[in-house]
């Protein structure tokens, strides 16, 4: 199977939106594809007391995939803060073994698994007196390559540059950059596209206008971003450089 990690320069830059469009294109082209997000916070509590995993629901609705919401995300929180803090507040700490098992199951069932990060690459998933690990640890343990989503506007060069530099320091492959809320002809946006490529050496593979209904790249290009999963990924929390 093949896998790809969707990361963002920050929260609310459009990772879930892009993930939905990616899954939509894969699904429409007959690919057996799934979505995974280790933890989601800021979700709505329904009348029956359960939590609706909003990001997963958006991706499922946008893409048309039949995967169940329960299989998409093992940890769902109501509090709209970083997952590690939401877990502490709600008394439901993220267990590494649980997210590993959930991910392994998807990898054994689907041909393409798209993983969405929670916030930026260094977002902590758990940090307490017992253990500590971040989104980066999961990426490293699964040997995931990344696609970076960034806002097209002011400030993005620093965010993109810092994220790309960190990925490079950890030998995490960065396959491409997507600029969201892009306005063609906007001097700042056009220059940001050019400078992102110069600063990182990584191509901007797509520029999405606000509300785009489709990902403006070919299925061949999209599939080429995914990498084969190694047969024996790290089963525990990796050691950083």
Active centre residues (catalytic):
37
Helix (H) or strand (E) holding 165: helix 156-169
Helix (H) or strand (E) holding 57: helix 54-63
77 annotated binding-site participant: no
117 annotated binding-site participant: yes
List the structure tokens of 115: 């993983």
14 annotated binding-site participant: yes
CA distance to 54, 80, 105, 169, 237, per residue, from 19 (Å): 13, 20, 20, 25, 25
CA distance to 72, 179, 196, 209, 217, per residue, from 151 (Å): 25, 6, 11, 11, 18
CA distance 155 to 151: 9
17 annotated binding-site participant: yes
Pick from 85, 165, 98: nearest CA to 128: 85
116 annotated binding-site participant: yes
119 annotated binding-site participant: yes
Angle in degrees, CA 80, 14, 90, rounded to 5: 15
16 annotated binding-site participant: yes
Question: Coil, helix or strand for 70?
Answer: helix
161 annotated binding-site participant: no
Residues that constitute the known binding site for ATP: 12-17, 55, 116-119, 180-181
Residues that constitute the known binding site for Mg(2+): 16, 55, 116
Residues that constitute the known binding site: 12-17, 41, 55, 116-119, 180-181
Residues that constitute the known binding site for substrate: 41
């Amino acid at each position: 199977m093949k896998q790809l990690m969707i990361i963002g320069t920050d929260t609310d830059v459009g990772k879930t939106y892009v993930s939905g469009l990616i899954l939509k294109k894969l699904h429409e082209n007959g690919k057996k594809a799934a979505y995974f997000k280790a933890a989601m916070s800021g979700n709505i509590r329904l009348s029956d007391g359960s939590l609706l995993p909003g990001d997963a629901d958006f991706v499922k609705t946008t893409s048309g995939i039949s995967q169940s919401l329960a299989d998409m995300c093992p940890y769902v929180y109501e509090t709209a803060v970083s997952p590690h803090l939401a877990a502490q507040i709600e008394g439901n700490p993220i267990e590494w073994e649980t997210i590993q098992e959930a991910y392994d199951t998807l990898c054994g069932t689907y041909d393409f698994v798209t993983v969405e990060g929670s916030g930026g690459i260094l977002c902590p998933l758990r940090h307490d007196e017992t253990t500590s690990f971040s989104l980066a640890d999961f990426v490293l343990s699964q040997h995931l390559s990344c696609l970076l989503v960034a806002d097209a506007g002011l400030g993005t060069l620093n965010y993109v540059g810092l994220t790309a530099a960190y990925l490079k320091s950890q030998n995490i492959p960065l396959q491409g950059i997507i600029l969201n809320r892009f306005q063609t002809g906007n001097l700042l946006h056009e220059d940001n596209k050019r400078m992102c490529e110069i600063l990182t050496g990584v191509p901007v593979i797509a520029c999405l206008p606000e509300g785009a209904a489709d990902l403006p790249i070919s299925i061949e290009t999209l599939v080429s971003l995914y990498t084969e999963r190694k047969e024996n990924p790290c089963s525990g929390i990796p050691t950083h450089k």
